[in-house]
Structures are given as structure tokens and as C-alpha cells.
Amino acid sequence: MNWTPPPSAGSPRWARALFALLWVLGVLALLLSARGQTALTPRDLKALDYLYALALDRDPAVLEARAALAEARARASPLAAASAGASLELRGDFDQVRPGYALALRLDLAALARDHGPALRAARARLAAEELALRRRVAGALFGYLAARAAARQASDRLEAARAALEAERARYRAGASTRAELLAAAEALSRAELGLYRANLDLALALLRLAEAARVPPEAVRAALSGRLPGDEPLPEGAR
């Protein structure tokens, strides 16, 4: 919040009271805005679980680890050591033809006796590590977005406070209780607050894109999740199915 010098002792009483009221309201708005972002809300936690579940079915590293685990399980199955074959041949004399069948069953004893436990454990550990890394990426991107959103809200509050401070300074200036330099300083503070809001909104947009990239879904799906519109409430945005 930008500081504006208080009215002098010779200023009208109403000008001093108006300045004090606006200053207190601005401080309270900033404090309440910051306090509201100290912890994740149930909606934020639900959005995290939802976005993570979407990312699980799209992340290449997780999909590759799942395929490796499925392959390791297939190799550990007893059926992988057995193979069967069949053949058909025709036998006969003169005009009599009789089909003959031959069945063969082969069993790879070496493959059957091989210990597949280490390979299975390694595949499971790889999948668990990839899923944990993915959850950390999604959670980190979500926390970054929530921080950017809180910063944008605070920048908006600072802009409103700067506007109120400029109006108060104009009132003081019209009442002869303020100088032109003080009025210009309040106007400059408003310009800085406007620029701060533009930058905060840009950071928020970039944070949204990073979160969408981490979850591997369109930004519209992220907005829907953060607003609480999850499956069961209404259809998902295009690309999030």
C-alpha cells in the first residue's frame, strides 16, 4: 500500500477523518486478502487430486513405467515359460485320406526357474517414483498458480487503495490542505499500482499455462477444476476427457 502523508493540523477536520478512514480500510483489505491465502482450501485440494489423476493417464514417463511393469509381470507368469504348437497332415492310400494331428508342448525350465522378483520390484519402484515425481510437479505448479492468484488479488487491492488515496489527496488539495507535489505523488502511486496489477495478471496467466502443462490438459480444464466444476457436476471442457 502506498503511503500518503497525513493532513496537517491546520486541515479541515473532515479531511483528516476521511484520510484516516480510507487508510485504515486499505490496510484491512490487504491484511484480509493475505490471510485468505494462508492455507489450501478443500476446493484446492480436490482440484489437485483431480489434475493429478488426469496427468497420470497422459504423462509419458508414467505410461512408460506402467508398460515396463506390465512386461515384467508377463515375464514372471508361468505361462511365459510354456509354448504350444499344432500341425495337421493328410495321410492315406489311393482314394482314402485321413487327417493326422500332432500337438507339441514345450516348457522352458530355465525361464520357469528364473527369479523374477528383483525385476518386478524394480518395475514397481520405477512406477512409484514416476508417479511421485508427477504429483510433485502438479502440486508445485498448482501452488505457484495459487500464489500468483493471491498476488494478483493483492495487486488489485493496492490499486483500489491507491485510487482512494488519490481521491483523498484531491479533496485535500481542493481544501488547500495539500500541495501540488503531494497530489502528483499520489497520482504517480496510482500509476505504479496499475502497472503492478498488469504484471501480476501476466504472472497469473503464465502460472496457469505452467499448471496446464504439468497436468497435460488445456487451460480450460484447469480453470474448471479450480472453480469446482469437476466430473459429475457438468461435462468436462474439450480436451480434458
Q: How many domains does the chain have?
A: 1
pTM greater than the 0.75 cutoff = no
The answer to the question of residue 173 being in a domain is yes
The answer to the question of residue 217 being in a domain is yes
Range of the domain at 211: 13-76+115-226
The answer to the question of residue 174 being in a domain is yes
pLDDT in tens, 120-175: 899 999 999 999 999 999 999 999 999 999 999 999 999 999 999 999 999 999 99
User: Which residues on neighbouring strands pair with residue 101, listed in sequence order?
Assistant: 88
The answer to the question of residue 1 being in a domain is no
The answer to the question of residue 107 being in a domain is no
Helix crossing, 117-174 with 42-56: angle to 10°?
140
- Portion of the chain with pLDDT greater than 90, in percent: 49
pLDDT at 4: 46
pLDDT in tens, 52-87: 999 999 999 999 999 999 988 887 765 544 454 445
What span, in angstroms and rounded, lies between the C-alpha atoms of 147 and 139? 12
Strand, coil or helix: what is 105? Answer: strand
Give the residue among 217, 219, 209 at the shortest CA–CA distance from 240: 217
The CATH number that applies at residue 46 is: 1.20.1600.10
Q: How confident is the model at residue 3 (pLDDT cuts 50, 70, 90)?
A: very low
The answer to the question of residue 98 being in a domain is no
The answer to the question of residue 205 being in a domain is yes
The answer to the question of residue 234 being in a domain is no
